[in-house]
Amino acid sequence: MFGVTILGNNSALPAYNRHPTSQVITLADHLFLVDCGEGTQMQMNHYKIRRSRINHIFISHLHGDHYFGLPGLLTSFGLMGRIQELHLYGPSALKQIIDLILHVGATILPYKLHFHALEEESMLVDDEHFSIESFPVYHRIDCWGFIFRERRKPRKINPEATTQYNVPVEFFERLKQGEDFIQNDRVIPNETLTIPNKPPRSYAFAADTLYNESLADTVGNVDLLYHEATYLNDKLDKAVNRFHSTSAEAAMLAKRAEVKKLLIGHFSSTYESLEDFLEEAKEIFPNTQLALEGQTFMIV
C-alpha cells in the first residue's frame, strides 16, 4: 500500500474541529509522519494509527501549526516504553527546542533519537524499495517539501518469449534488470523477452509555500501532489503577504507540473465550509480532492 492519511488539514488556528497540519504516509509497510501540529497524538489515537510503525518524522518548518505536537509525541513515545530508534528531520533549530524541552523536564528518552537537519535539497531516506527527498519551498521562514518515490521495479519475464528463444533461467535476473539477450550473435531485445512492471508511484508534500512555477519542475509528474490552499483566490493579496497560496494557485501548479492528482489542505480558519476550495481548484485542475481529516488517499 502507498497512501496518505490526513490527521490535520487546517492552517494556524484550530477551528471547526479541523486540526493543524499532520499526515501519515504509508509506504512499503512503513509509516512516515509529515508535520506534527498540536494534537497530533490525540488524532493518532482517534484514527488508530499504529505509531510503533513510525520510525521517521519529517517537519517542514518551525511555525507552530506544523510542529507543536512533536514534543508531546516524542515524550509519549518514551512513556509508552519505545526503544526503537527514531529519525527526525527538520530545520536545525528544532533540535535546540527538543533538547531544551527534554532538559528542563529532566526527561531522558528511552530510545535513540537521531536528528537530521534540513539544510539543502537532499536524499533523506535511500531504501531498496523507495526514496524520500527534501526540496525547498517558498515561505516566510526556511521551509521544506518532501517527495516519496517508489524505486523502479524490475521488469517481468515474458514466459512465452523466453521459452521461444531458449533463454536459460540463470539469465532471468539480468533480463529483469533490462539487459538484452544475445543468442548466436543475434541480439534479442529485452522488450521482446520481458514486460514492464507497474510504474513506480510518487507523492509530493509541498508544505507551506507561495505559488512558485519552479516548483512544477520539482514535483513534475508525481502521482499525487499535496499543495497548500490556505485561501480562496479573492484573498490572493493576503496569500501573497503571508507566503501562502490560494486554491486556484495550487491547481495551476498541479496543472503545470502535470501531476495525476491534487490534494489541497492547510485551510484558513476564516472559512467554515471547504466546498469553495474544491470548486475553485477543479475549474483549473479537475482531478482535485480536499485533504479531509481521517481520510486516506491512495497513490495509484
Would you please indicate which residues are annotated as catalytic (active-site) residues?
65
3-state secondary structure 193-222: HEECCCCCCEEEECCCCCCCCCHHHHCCCC
Q: Contacting its own copies (CB under 8 A), which of 50, 52, 85, 100?
A: 100
Q: If binding is defined by CB under 8 A, does position 83 make contact with its own copies?
A: no
Q: Contacting its own copies (CB under 8 A), which of 23, 33, 49, 71?
A: 71
Q: Which is nearer to its own copies, 83 or 195 (CB)?
A: 83
Residues from 11 through 30 that contact its own copies (CB under 8 A): 12-15, 19-20
CB 232 within 8 A of CB 277: yes
d(CA 297, CA 203): 11
DSSP state of 63: S
d(CA 103, CA 110): 14
d(CA 9, CA 23): 9
Q: Which is nearer to its own copies, 171 or 243 (CB)?
A: 243
Q: How far is the CB of 208 from its own copies (least distance, A)?
A: 12
CB 92 within 8 A of CB 117: yes
Q: If binding is defined by CB under 8 A, does position 93 make contact with its own copies?
A: yes
Residues from 132 through 161 that contact its own copies (CB under 8 A): 140-141
Q: Contacting its own copies (CB under 8 A), which of 47, 51, 55, 75?
A: 75
d(CA 4, CA 13): 23
Contact positions vs its own copies (CB under 8 A): 12-15, 19-20, 38-39, 41-42, 45, 62-65, 68-69, 71-72, 75-76, 79-80, 91, 93-94, 96-97, 100-101, 104-107, 140-141
